[in-house]
């Protein structure tokens, strides 16, 4: 991990008069996985929405590979490499796995959409089921397909909002191991919002803890876990 790949500086997002995100900053290097954690309502999903362009911030800067993307629309950011996984909502249940990944690549205007689709499916161990319609896949495979759709076009940052929700322990472990491999193999930065603390602390290189829209703590997992303020506000004594 070397230079900075992605950064958010002084992000503020308001819902009416309420600041849901209030001056949040962090950065990621290529291949870095950063866990974004905090109690319900802390502002995690709102940070992701502001990064992807779903919601415009009232202040702050979002920058990918040195280029500011703060005011761009969702699709413009996706083309530049800001990608989000939607759990299963982006999957077409009646369409073949390979066809939909190739379609996603073609929509981005990639020169060789078929090759990109094949590469992503191979990396996620989905080639054996590439000819099936997505509705026939198991739940864990559907999550990986959703990840495949987010990974076409080699994004610079991948935003994941609770990717483990609803998965069994073995399925979570499998997805976590894929995420680790993908981040380092593709040099993609990953911002991971996840309630499963074992997964977050197990695969993240760094962690940001939010509370009431502000950064409560930030740093390497062990240091964050040992931080008394974090334990008190969020993790509890069991962590
Ligand atoms: N569309 C909205 N309109 C008004 N307030 C909202 C809206 N969406 C979220 N909020 C408020 O903004 C704050 C941050 O919410 P957000 O969903 O980002 O938190 P979160 O950390 O992702 O929570 P959770 O872990 O429950 O998903 C909360 O106080 C929430 O009630």
Task: Find out whether the beta carbon of 17 lies less than 6 Å from any atom of ligand 1.
Answer: no
Determine, yes or no, domain membership for 166.
Answer: no
Determine, yes or no, domain membership for 225.
Answer: yes
Determine, yes or no, domain membership for 170.
Answer: no
ipTM of the complex: 0.96
CA of 166 to the centre of ligand 1 (A): 21
Mean pLDDT, consecutive 10-residue stretches, the chain (239 aa), reads 83 94 97 95 96 96 95 95 81 93 94 94 95 93 92 95 89 90 92 93 96 96 93 67
Show the DSSP H helices in 43-161 as ranges: 44-52, 74-80, 97-107, 113-123, 139-151
Determine, yes or no, domain membership for 29.
Answer: yes
Question: What secondary structure letter does DSSP report for 58?
Answer: S
- Domain range for 28 is 1-80+191-239
Please identify, by atom number, the ligand 1 atom nearest to the C-alpha of residue 42: 21
**CATH number of 7's domain:** 3.40.50.300
Q: For ligand 1, atom 24, which residue shows the shortest CA distance?
A: 40
Model pLDDT, residue 3? 73
Task: Find out whether the beta carbon of 24 lies less than 6 Å from any atom of ligand 1.
Answer: no
CA of 2 to the centre of ligand 1 (A): 33
CA of 40 to the centre of ligand 1 (A): 8
Model pLDDT, residue 4? 78
Model pLDDT, residue 140? 87
Q: What is the pLDDT of residues 100-119, one digit of tens each?
A: 999 999 999 988 999 999 99
Model pLDDT, residue 238? 46
**Cross-strand partners of 33:** 190
CA distance linking residue 14 with residue 207, whole number of Å: 24
CA distance linking residue 111 with residue 204, whole number of Å: 33
**Structural domains counted in the chain:** 1
Model pLDDT, residue 88? 59
Task: Find out whether the beta carbon of 42 lies less than 6 Å from any atom of ligand 1.
Answer: yes
Determine, yes or no, domain membership for 44.
Answer: yes
Instruction: Give the three-class secondary structure for 167.
Output: coil
Determine, yes or no, domain membership for 128.
Answer: no
Determine, yes or no, domain membership for 101.
Answer: no
Q: Which residue has the tokens 């996706």?
A: 78
């Amino acid at each position: 991990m070397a230079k900075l790949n992605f950064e958010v500086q002084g992000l503020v997002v308001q819902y009416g008069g309420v600041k849901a995100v209030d001056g949040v900053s962090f950065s990621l290097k290529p291949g870095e996985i950063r866990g974004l954690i905090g109690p319900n309502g802390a502002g995690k999903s709102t940070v992701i929405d502001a990064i992807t362009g779903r919601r415009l911030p009232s202040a702050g800067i979002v920058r990918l590979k040195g280029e500011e993307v703060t005011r761009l629309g969702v699709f413009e950011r996706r083309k530049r490499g800001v990608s989000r996984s939607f759990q299963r909502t982006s999957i077409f249940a009646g369409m073949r796995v390979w066809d939909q990944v190739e379609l996603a690549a073609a929509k981005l205007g990639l020169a060789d959409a078929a090759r990109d689709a094949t590469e992503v499916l191979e990396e996620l161990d989905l080639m054996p089921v590439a000819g099936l319609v997505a509705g026939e896949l198991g739940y864990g495979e559907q999550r990986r397909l959703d990840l495949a759709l987010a990974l076409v076009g080699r994004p610079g940052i991948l935003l994941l909002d609770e990717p483990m929700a609803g998965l069994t322990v073995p399925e979570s472990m499998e997805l976590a191991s894929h995420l680790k491999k993908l981040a380092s193999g593709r040099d993609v930065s990953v911002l991971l919002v996840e309630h499963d603390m074992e997964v977050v602390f197990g695969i993240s290189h760094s962690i940001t803890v939010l509370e009431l829209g502000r950064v409560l703590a930030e740093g390497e997992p062990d240091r964050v876990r040992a931080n008394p303020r974090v334990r008190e506000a969020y993790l509890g004594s069991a962590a």
